[in-house]
Structure 1
Amino acid sequence: MLRALGRASTGPVTVGDDELAALRSMLRRVHAALRDAERLSVADHSARLWLVELGDLEYRAEDVFEELEYECRRAAQLEDLKIDLLRAAGAAPTTGKRKREVAQLFAAAPAARLRRKIDDIWARYGEIASDRKRLRLRPGDGAARRPAAGALVPSSSLPRGEIHGRERDLQRVTDLVYRCKPDGGRNYTVGAIVGMAGVGKTSLAQHVCSEEAVASQFDLNLWAWVSQEFDVVGMTAKIVEAITRARPDCSELSALHGTMVEHLAGKRCLLVLDDVWDDNPIHWDTITAPLSCCAPGSTVVITTRSKMVAKMVTPNVYHLDCLSDEHSWYMCRRRASRGGATIDDELASIGQQIAKKCRALPLAAEAAGTTMNTSVTREHWNNVLESNLWADNDEAKNNVLPALKVSYDHLPAPLKRCFAFCSLFPKSFVFDKDALVQLWTAQGFIKTRGECRPEDVGAGYFYDLVARCFFQLSPSHGIGKGKYVMHDLYQELAQFVSGHECRMIHQLNLTGANKTTRHLSIVHDETNSDKELLLKSFCSHDLRTFLFLARMEQVIRGEMPCRRKIVPCGLVTDFECLRVLDLSNTDIVEVPKSIGSLIHLRYLGLDNTGIQMLPESVGALFHLQTIKLNHCSSLTQLPQGIKLLLNLRCLEIAHSNVQMPSGIRVLTSLQKLPIFKGCSVQGTILQPF
């Protein structure tokens, strides 16, 4: 069966069922290759370029399938609405121009253009596959690169730094170690120290182990570094090696357990398992099974970045937070003054500002201090202060970001995409959980199964990132408000891992965007706010996200941001692949009728704008899931065609004087719809769904 897409001057253009099946098969292979690559650390430059090109091909193929689907639905669903609108235009005292506008609504896409897109996809697929074969390195092309020397594996015997600013934490963890009671029927206690990368969990555990009040309580003081690469047998062997001070000569789990029992029986032991990632309870039970032979009062302490791991092993959890700015400056100053350098008051003033950029993370403070120590001069320190501290110096790139990236590498593939997308938001941005999940869903990052709602799955993704310390509750909002913040260094990490695909740029400074950018945000500042933005010359035609972000100071204070005078020109007509379009807090007063051409659009944000109506062409946006019209005081009605948006899940119209159109009750996918007292739909009181 042939599916006609329309007619060109040369006759009908069709796509046969066989070609559709071949396209789907190609897309599945591309998708599988990209998902496999997400589980690997790809260092080869040619391979990374190949994956970028393959990702671009995946985007194009997805767009074509949606265009094919749209053309099938357009004729079936939009023609009736068009007839109704023409009838209404004929009955009302409207102009001929209005009738012509209605007649042109929902026109079919030029078939030749869609045919050309399909042909280009096949040609590009063949080119990428062919180049990959020709350019792939062969085994004899060079010797393998030797791995760089890694960081020292932590242990209780390594030299410890000062515990400045952690005295209270030290006392509380010490109490946790030898005063907590056993739980779960065990004769030993388990305690967990949890916190983000670089916050000082290992250092704190080292100090606790060496405290006389702690060490004197135990016959054996053992330390084992777990790390990301987890293996039950290998981990058990590490514990045996810590006990016997010799590498075991067997690799069978039962024999290793026997050795542990032989050496631990009847002894009071302190075992530290540092940097635990695995959250499989069966693995945990297997490793700790021999500890039941220890004497009562034995203790296991784990350090982890994951709240899920901590919760799995014990209810005795200590959450280690960042330092104060004062203590962060102390660490910077101590490292910067190594070698006897003198720091005067003027340098100290600059240094304190640098320390604030570390956002109280000890690892960052140490790295910043090392950078400052290379030249203890006002000129150098001012350069450090004005630079991007985490992208422009080797100390940060070699020590800070790699430590954080381990957390990213351990994420499941869907969470990696969700986290990288957060690079679109500026530092100190206050994230709304529900809004972020809606954006992830619009981009297809949320994978649902069965009858699970995408809102629930997306919330699970978000709370997983919270549990892994990628987000923290916003200190400016109460618990339960759904507001979160991200540490500056994690925001830097998001920008690093997203590469060119995501770009956050400040208004009028578009040097960061390029032709490979798929997701773009503009953070508004008030400088030259009347100047028009020309995005087309900077961004790819295949842009999928455009966010216009207001300044955060007003949002944090709970105020509505001022409406900005800039609306990027040509955004609707130039970027037809958009999934997300958010022009909230701009001075836009009219949504162009051409918005109906954005057939891939899932998310439309127009909060706090001066729009008076939405065009009927919105009815053609079959994939639309979220419409936000909060604080649109001039808006009085919604288009009749909104009843065709069967995928609409969220309609927000708070503080807007909107009269609901008839037929909205057919939108059974709606999960969120504000109910206004006395608001009616054609005379019928609107009831909750």
Structure 2
Amino acid sequence: MSVFGEAALSAFLELLSAKLLDSVLNFVAGHRQLHHQLKLWQSILPEIKAVLNHAEEKQIKDEGVKNWLGDLQDLAYDVDDILDEFAYQELRLKLQKTQAQASSSKVRKLIPTCCTGGHFSPFSFMFNAKMISKIQAITDRLNSLNTRRSSLGFSEIMSQGVTSKGKKPRLQPTSLMDGAVEYIGRANEKQETLELLKSNNSDGVCVLSILGMGGMGKTTLAQLVYNDPSIKESFDHKSWVCVSDDFDAVNITKTILRSLDADSRDENDLNLLQVKLKEKLSGKRLLLVLDDIWNESYSDWNILRAPFGAGTKIIVTTRLQKVSSNVDSVKAFYLDKLSHHDCLSIFAQHALKARNFDGHLQFKEIGENIVRRCNGLPLAAKAIGSLLRTVKNHSEWEK
């Protein structure tokens, strides 16, 4: 497998993780066996993805690693096929439900009660009979790949690449300088966020939340707002903290303090840290971004926000509705999937350095097929487009 293959596989695994985390798991929540199997996929995929860079280096000299990567690629395609089947079945069942609701009551009365009770559905028939064996086979292959991963010498780097059991992995780290290309598809959300941040409401802390599944561009929207030139006039200080699964009030407060004063003394007492932070912010306006929050504890949030008062405005990005509710958001922006047209523009920007395929018609058809597989996720369109940026051969795009 080529170096390009490893990079593309990494982006592909990101896409699969996003699909699993936010849509498919919700769809199968009522089916315990399926839900358990897919939760296993969710935990194993990030562990495998974490070692891809190391595998890329080793596969040149190690035939076993090369074979492992080939098997992983085959499995990734099979996982994607299964997830697409779930998406199709979800849509089919929604249509059936709509049609059933439109049926006359007389027709419904002719259907035996055994077929209309709460435990009967086309979903249970379809997936009990047809899918569970396939899903179990994929789980077995995933477990086998994970076991082989350890035997190939990748275990020692796991602590650097994967969060501990039960914690949620980020799709990719935060970068405040990721603004080289035009942001597509969220112009209204950006403008409304800027207006709310610059408005003069001095009653207390103002919190805005940006919600959405993984890969929807929550962090990117926060970056654009954070780096917007007009923000400089409205705030004395800005601070950005990537929280992820480690919601530690001490470390978060330390990070904020260091952004205000690079010479601040290292301290581990939360009370002292918060007193110092409150003093630093007295009479000042602060824009704070807390990126990728997973912690659903209301009490933890109250402890963290204690030093902040009037003049502080906070942007929270999260995948969880409960987090948005806990932080008492003045406004919650829910980012849904982008249109095919917008995803195509993002892909073209990163793959071709262009807004569309007008000057690259030879790539248009295959490009549109690739973008359809991105399933409306801007991160996937960006990641795969970036991988193809230096690939000028049409046949390579089809691989």
| Pairwise TM-score range, normalised by the shorter structure | 0.5 to 0.7
Q: What is the CA distance between 1:319 and its match in structure 2?
A: 0.8
Partner of residue 331 from structure 1, selected from 338, 346, 360: 346
For residues 591-642 of structure 1, give each alpha carbon's deviation from its aligned partner in whole angstroms, at most 9, with x where no partner exists. xxxxxxxxxxxxxxxxxxxxxxxxxxxxxxxxxxxxxxxxxxxxxxxxxxxx
Q: 1:143 to 1:224 in 2, by over 3 A?
A: closer
Q: What is the CA distance between 1:171 and its match in structure 2?
A: 0.7
Map of 1:199 onto structure 2: 216
Map of 2:195 onto structure 1: 175
* CA distance, structure 2, for counterparts of residue 324 and residue 311 of structure 1: 28
Q: Does 1:163 find its partner at 2:183?
A: yes
Q: Does 1:306 find its partner at 2:323?
A: no
Q: 1:40 to 1:301 in 2, by over 3 A?
A: same
**In the comparison of the two structures, how many residue pairs are matched?**
245
Query: Is this contact kept in 2: 1:277–1:304, CA < 8 A?
Result: yes
Q: Does 1:277 find its partner at 2:301?
A: no
Q: 1:342 to 1:168 in 2, by over 3 A?
A: closer
Give the letter for the 1:168 counterpart: N
For residues 659-687 of structure 1, give each alpha carbon's deviation from its aligned partner in whole angstroms, at most 9, with x where no partner exists. xxxxxxxxxxxxxxxxxxxxxxxxxxxxx
Consecutive unaligned residues in structure 1, runs of 5 or more: 1-36, 45-140, 384-689
SS in 1 for 2:244: coil
Q: What is the CA distance between 1:357 and its match in structure 2?
A: 1.5
- Residue correspondence of structure 1 range 197-236 to structure 2 within 5 A: 197-236=214-253
Q: What is the CA distance between 1:225 and its match in structure 2?
A: 1.2
Q: 1:328 to 1:144 in 2, by over 3 A?
A: closer
Give the letter for the 1:305 counterpart: R
Query: Is this contact kept in 2: 1:337–1:343, CA < 8 A?
Result: no
Map of 2:274 onto structure 1: 257
Map of 2:174 onto structure 1: 154
For residues 514-557 of structure 1, give each alpha carbon's deviation from its aligned partner in whole angstroms, at most 9, with x where no partner exists. xxxxxxxxxxxxxxxxxxxxxxxxxxxxxxxxxxxxxxxxxxxx
Query: Is this contact kept in 2: 1:237–1:248, CA < 8 A?
Result: no
Q: What is the CA distance between 1:160 and its match in structure 2?
A: 4.8
Q: What is the CA distance between 1:155 and its match in structure 2?
A: 5.0
Q: What is the CA distance between 1:164 and its match in structure 2?
A: 2.3
Query: Is this contact kept in 2: 1:224–1:272, CA < 8 A?
Result: yes
- Residue correspondence of structure 1 range 527-542 to structure 2 within 5 A: none
Consecutive unaligned residues in structure 2, runs of 5 or more: 1-39, 49-152, 163-170
* CA distance, structure 2, for counterparts of residue 318 and residue 142 of structure 1: 40
Q: 1:306 to 1:236 in 2, by over 3 A?
A: same
Q: Does 1:361 find its partner at 2:381?
A: no
* CA distance, structure 1, for counterparts of residue 215 and residue 306 of structure 2: 31
Q: What is the CA distance between 1:342 and its match in structure 2?
A: 10
Query: Is this contact kept in 2: 1:336–1:369, CA < 8 A?
Result: yes
Q: What is the CA distance between 1:148 and its match in structure 2?
A: 5.2
Map of 1:321 onto structure 2: 336
Q: What is the CA distance between 1:268 and its match in structure 2?
A: 1.2
Q: 1:374 to 1:238 in 2, by over 3 A?
A: same
* CA distance, structure 1, for counterparts of residue 306 and residue 259 of structure 2: 17
Scaled by the length of structure 1, the TM-score of the pair is 0.32
Partner of residue 361 from structure 2, selected from 328, 336, 345: 345
Q: 1:330 to 1:158 in 2, by over 3 A?
A: closer
* CA distance, structure 2, for counterparts of residue 192 and residue 366 of structure 1: 23
Q: What is the CA distance between 1:246 and its match in structure 2?
A: 4.6
SS in 2 for 1:198: coil
Map of 1:5 onto structure 2: none
Give the letter for the 1:171 counterpart: Q
* CA distance, structure 1, for counterparts of residue 43 and residue 398 of structure 2: 39
Q: What is the CA distance between 1:281 and its match in structure 2?
A: 1.0
Map of 1:286 onto structure 2: 303
Q: What is the CA distance between 1:314 and its match in structure 2?
A: 1.9
Q: What is the CA distance between 1:363 and its match in structure 2?
A: 0.8
User: Greater strand percent: which structure?
Assistant: 1
Q: What is the CA RMSD across the aligned residues, in angstroms?
A: 3.5
Q: 1:157 to 1:241 in 2, by over 3 A?
A: farther
Query: Is this contact kept in 1: 2:284–2:311, CA < 8 A?
Result: no
For residues 243-275 of structure 1, give each alpha carbon's deviation from its aligned partner in whole angstroms, at most 9, with x where no partner exists. 223564110111111210121111111111111
SS in 2 for 1:192: strand
Query: Is this contact kept in 1: 2:238–2:259, CA < 8 A?
Result: no
Q: What is the CA distance between 1:238 and its match in structure 2?
A: 2.0
SS in 2 for 1:300: strand
Query: Is this contact kept in 2: 1:200–1:363, CA < 8 A?
Result: yes
Q: 1:175 to 1:309 in 2, by over 3 A?
A: same
SS in 2 for 1:291: coil
Q: 1:39 to 1:371 in 2, by over 3 A?
A: closer
Q: 1:161 to 1:203 in 2, by over 3 A?
A: farther
Q: What is the CA distance between 1:290 and its match in structure 2?
A: 0.5
Map of 2:254 onto structure 1: 237
Partner of residue 267 from structure 1, selected from 284, 289, 294: 284
Identity level (%): 29
Q: What is the CA distance between 1:370 and its match in structure 2?
A: 3.1
* CA distance, structure 2, for counterparts of residue 288 and residue 173 of structure 1: 20
For residues 310-347 of structure 1, give each alpha carbon's deviation from its aligned partner in whole angstroms, at most 9, with x where no partner exists. 111124211122222112111111222259x9963131
Q: What is the CA distance between 1:166 and its match in structure 2?
A: 2.2
Q: What is the CA distance between 1:288 and its match in structure 2?
A: 0.7
* CA distance, structure 2, for counterparts of residue 345 and residue 143 of structure 1: 45
Query: Is this contact kept in 2: 1:347–1:377, CA < 8 A?
Result: no
Give the letter for the 2:319 counterpart: R
- Residue correspondence of structure 1 range 418-437 to structure 2 within 5 A: none
SS in 1 for 2:398: helix
* CA distance, structure 2, for counterparts of residue 146 and residue 318 of structure 1: 35
SS in 1 for 2:325: helix
Query: Is this contact kept in 2: 1:328–1:362, CA < 8 A?
Result: yes
* CA distance, structure 2, for counterparts of residue 217 and residue 179 of structure 1: 9
* CA distance, structure 2, for counterparts of residue 378 and residue 142 of structure 1: 34
SS in 2 for 1:373: coil
* CA distance, structure 2, for counterparts of residue 144 and residue 168 of structure 1: 46
Query: Is this contact kept in 1: 2:244–2:293, CA < 8 A?
Result: yes
Larger relative contact order, structure 1 or 2 (CA cutoff 8 Å, min sep 6): 2
